[in-house]
Homo-oligomer: A and B are copies of this chain.
């Protein structure tokens, strides 16, 4: 079977992943309305293509927080990559480095930050953080990440509690015994999300700032009011995200929220977006609407499920080619 577009990787993953893993990655909250809206909202946005422009040379490189990446498509933080491919996040790190883009490693990785760093030295990586009730554990994670050369700290703001993903409840989802949330091995047990601290507020940005010199990016912003608060609290970047539609169902699609956030931010910090990117033209739309870079979540996992590091590179390469072609055809 030829892998022609991202849906082909999705079909492959659905067919070959264990049901419990597929369901976990595919899950959306409640009725999955927002998960699906993320995709539908892109389809509602239409191009006004311009003709007869010289598109023989196109530059798709960009910089995020000062680091150059070869294409404005990074890897969003998602958990448990070993569910998709034995080498887990090590493969992800290698693929991202090979494609010269940014990989945001999740707190809920099945490899340690040290393993991830060692797998692809020199790659551009950010670290995604959940703040736990045990603040010392979170502090230690942040400082490990900084010491290992991660170049950004991504605070997930939309998970005070875990959303209700019906299939995971039905499946009684948990990691198989041979996998671990290694970054937290001593401090936590797997999936005890209730260890997350639901009392986190904007003031905790100041606490994080006191722990690290890394730029802080807040992930999960969907409104102009929160975008304004993020800027006011001194973050360096915002990822417009609804956690892939896995948290509150029936909120806005991310591409729709992006417009409002970009407008509120007025260039004071960089704005990124994840959720619903399935084609190169989606990337072009997000950039045209003000995103500095997009991040892909599920498609990266499908790539891993297909052929590990190589499969993820395939996904990134296809998306990049489609993005480049869309730019040319849109003039």
Contact = CB atoms under 8 A, between A and B. Distances in A.
Contact of A46 (B51, B197, B252, B328): B252
A291 B16 CA distance: 47
Interface string A173-205: 000000000000000000000000111111010
B325 A163 contact: yes
A31 interface: yes
A170 interface: yes
A50 B223 contact: yes
A158 B49 contact: yes
A155 to B, nearest CB: 9
A315 to B, nearest CB: 15
A98 interface: no
A145 to B, nearest CB: 20
B251 A52 contact: no
A325 B247 CA distance: 9
Q: How many copies does the complex hold?
A: 4
A305 B162 CA distance: 30
Contacts of A163: 325, 329
B49 A328 contact: no
A248 B198 CA distance: 45
A38 to B, nearest CB: 13
A15 interface: no
A160 interface: yes
Given A5-B166, A170-B4, A222-B49, A250 B198 contact: no
Interface string A146-172: 000000000001101101101001100
A229 to B, nearest CB: 8
Contacts of A226: 50-52
Interface in A78-103: none
A74 B330 CA distance: 27
Nearest to A168: B4
A106 interface: no
Interface stretch (A18-26, A53-61, A118-126, A266-274): A53-61
A310 interface: no
Interface in A9-56: 30-31, 33, 43, 45-56
A322 B202 CA distance: 25
Interface in A294-331: 322, 325-326, 328-330
Ranked 7 nearest A-B pairs via Cβ:
A248-B329, A56-B199, A51-B157, A56-B198, A54-B199, A47-B251, A49-B251
29 contacts: A4-B169, A4-B170, A30-B279, A30-B281, A43-B250, A46-B250, A47-B250, A47-B252, A48-B223, A48-B252, A49-B223, A49-B248, A49-B251, A50-B223, A51-B157, A51-B158, A52-B200, A54-B199, A56-B160, A56-B197, A56-B198, A158-B329, A161-B329, A163-B325, A164-B322, A247-B329, A248-B326, A248-B330, A249-B281
Given A45-B250, A51-B221, A198-B328, 4 more contacts: A4-B166, A48-B252, A49-B223, A248-B281
